[in-house]
Copies of this chain bind each other. A is one copy, B any other.
Amino acid sequence: MEHYLGMDLGGTDVKMGVVDSNGTIVVKQSYPTPAGLAGDKLADYFAECMRKTAAAAGLRLETLAAAGIGAPGLVNTTNGILDFVTNIPSLNDYPLGPQMAKRLNIPVAVDNDVNAMVLAELYYGAARSYRNIVALTVGTGVGGGLIFNGQLYRGSSFGAGEIGHMSIETNGPLCNCGNYGCLERYIGREAIVARFDALYRHKKLPSSIDRHLEQGAITPRAIAMAAAEGDELSLFVMDEIGRYLGNGLATIVNILNPELIVIGGGIANAGELLLEPARREMFRRAAVMPARMVKVVQAKFLNDAGILGAASLAREGSDRTD
């Protein structure tokens, strides 16, 4: 059986795992993202962490089929250069792909973490056997991954999938991206938390979210967890988010007519509490035939999406060069 190493690059942690070709995580580890290192030194560090992770799985790194790296931001998958990395500016414009390949002596694929996530769902998760798939991750931002005719579609400059930046209100609130009324401004972390917080402070509905707070803070995950226990305010907010999401899904369905929409990210922990209102709104808005045929489901991998996704990039890269 082949093994892949997956590395999920984050601003504070680097998560790594060895994944076999059935999608089983053999071992996983987490390392801090060192703030003081940049460029080649940082690549050396990643290589060292990868060796340790492979060793923890009882394998020599050189015996792995390939490594994959998922990064938040814009990645040129042709030359392996990180064009723009959210939260790790020291890696901007760095050729991480070729530099890691030189250090590891195995093929290395680098890509955006949402592309990684949709591949994990395609290979091992909720999207197996589907060919036209749209994945959305609803977290701090709202990202998207697109599979058309069974192939990852990256767009013409690796920028496809920015579903969070469809404008759903022409003159809506300004978004960080420069657009107005972006979907992300309604269902992204900041919007959800601000909305919950306002309703909570004004005691619009009863809530016992306190036990789910994360380090004292309201988070989308906390709202999802409270909603699952029947918390009234959380359920109300979840329904609101679900309907905004459904509005975005209707546009996706009308334009792309996918078979499957997979929803991941922190808020996806709410499962049907989010998906049910989203589907209802999507169906109310989208054209009947594509709306009837599309399935809207929760991602199979929520906590392990990063590692499995990165390992899936390794597999996809190997398939492409075959």
Task: Give A contacts to B, CB under 8 Å.
Answer: 74, 83, 131-132, 144, 146, 148-149, 151, 153-163, 165-170, 177-180, 244, 247, 250-252, 254-259, 284-290, 293-294
Q: Is the Cβ of A178 less than 8 Å from the Cβ of B284?
A: yes
Q: Which of B157, B163, B289 contacts A157 (CB 8 A)?
A: B289
- Closest B residue to A144 by beta carbon equals B255
Known A-B contacts A162-B254, A179-B286, A285-B180; the reply to A132 vs B148 at CB < 8 A is no
Known A-B contacts A149-B153, A167-B247, A250-B167; the reply to A160 vs B257 at CB < 8 A is yes
Cβ contacts under 8 Å, A169 to chain B = 168-170
Q: Is the Cβ of B74 less than 8 Å from the Cβ of A289?
A: yes
Cβ contacts under 8 Å, A294 to chain B = 156
A150 and B158 alpha carbons, distance in the complex (Å): 16
Instruction: Offer 6 A-B interface pairs, CB within 8 angstroms, sorted by A.
Output: A144-B255, A155-B257, A156-B259, A161-B255, A167-B285, A180-B285
Q: Is the Cβ of B155 less than 8 Å from the Cβ of A256?
A: yes
A257 and B160 alpha carbons, distance in the complex (Å): 5
> Which of the listed residues A251, A290, A294 has the most CB atoms from chain B within 10 Å of its own CB?
A251
A259 and B167 alpha carbons, distance in the complex (Å): 20
Cβ contacts under 8 Å, A254 to chain B = 159, 162-163, 165-166, 179
A74 and B289 alpha carbons, distance in the complex (Å): 10
A243 to chain B minimum Cβ distance, whole angstroms, is 9
A167 and B163 alpha carbons, distance in the complex (Å): 13
Cβ contacts under 8 Å, A132 to chain B = 155-156
> Which of the listed residues A156, A169, A284 has the most CB atoms from chain B within 10 Å of its own CB?
A156
- Closest B residue to A179 by beta carbon equals B285
Q: Is the Cβ of B151 less than 8 Å from the Cβ of A289?
A: no
Other A-B pairs beyond A177-B287, A180-B285, 18, CB < 8 Å: A146-B255, A148-B153, A155-B256, A155-B257, A155-B258, A155-B290, A156-B290, A157-B257, A157-B289, A158-B257, A160-B255, A160-B256, A163-B254, A167-B168, A167-B247, A167-B285, A178-B288, A179-B286
